[in-house]
Amino acid sequence: MTALTSLALLVLVIANGAMYAGAMEEMAGHTASGLFGR
């Protein structure tokens, strides 16, 4: 049960990190395109 719980937690953290990284990348892309006028 503990192993299953920690595995689920790990998957959640990884998914959350991937989503966060994607949002940051998108935001950075918008900021860069805004700065360089593209």
What pLDDT, on the 0 to 100 scale, is given for residue 38?
58
What pLDDT, on the 0 to 100 scale, is given for residue 15?
92
Return the percent helix, strand and coil in the chain, to nearest 5.
Answer: 90, 0, 10
What is the model's pTM? 0.52
How far, in Å, CA of 7 to CA of 11, rounded?
Answer: 6
Number of domains in the chain: 1
State which amino acid sits at residue 7: L
What pLDDT, on the 0 to 100 scale, is given for residue 4?
93
pLDDT digits (tens, 9 = 90+) for 1-38: 799 999 999 999 999 988 888 888 888 888 877 777 65
